[in-house]
Amino acid sequence: MRDAICAHASWTRTFSECIDHGKLEKTSQDISCDDQCDFGKWLAGLSPSANDPAMKKFNMIKAMHTQFHVEAGKIAVHVENGDRASARTGYEAPHFKRMTHSLIINLNDWREDFRRFS
């Protein structure tokens, strides 16, 4: 799980660099999908059990991760259209920053749940 979380944080930094260069590593459609990144693939492979206390936050994390990718996909469309300024504005918008930070904080909290209950 730790590797997947780190990969997601790293991808977010790489996405910022892609905006600066005006070239994406994936299409906006792929970026919009929550099962294309390493964390999303790992998450999609989980089989949450209602009796597992470590899985209490699964639905919240999944929803946050999905929304993150939807918003990142919207930003990526600007890059594809050659509008780096709008992409940068979207990336630096308070709601996207809050969403990104909230996702990372909750992922780290969830990781602690796995440690505690495993």
pLDDT tens-digit readout, 27-84: 999 999 999 988 898 889 888 777 877 778 888 999 999 999 999 999 999 999 999 9
Read off the pLDDT of each residue in 77-104 and give the average, rounded to a whole number: 96
What is the DSSP secondary-structure string of 42-91? HHHT----TT-GGGTTHHHHHHHHHHHHHHHHHHHHHHHTT-HHHHHHHH
Judge contact between 18 and 79, C-beta under 8 A: yes
Alpha carbons 4 and 41: distance in angstroms, whole number: 9
* Single pTM value for the model: 0.89
Alpha carbons 41 and 39: distance in angstroms, whole number: 5
**CATH 1.20.120 applies to domain 2-117:** yes
Share of the chain above pLDDT 90, in %: 58
The residue extents of the domains of the chain are 2-117
Ramachandran area for residue 82 (φ above 0: left; ψ -120 to 50: alpha; else beta): left
Mean pLDDT of the chain: 90
**Comparing 54 with 110, which gets the higher pLDDT?**
110
Check residue 114 and give its pLDDT: 75
Check residue 48 and give its pLDDT: 77
Read off the pLDDT of each residue in 7-33 and give the average, rounded to a whole number: 93
Nearest to 101 by CA among 73, 68, 77: 68
Check residue 118 and give its pLDDT: 63
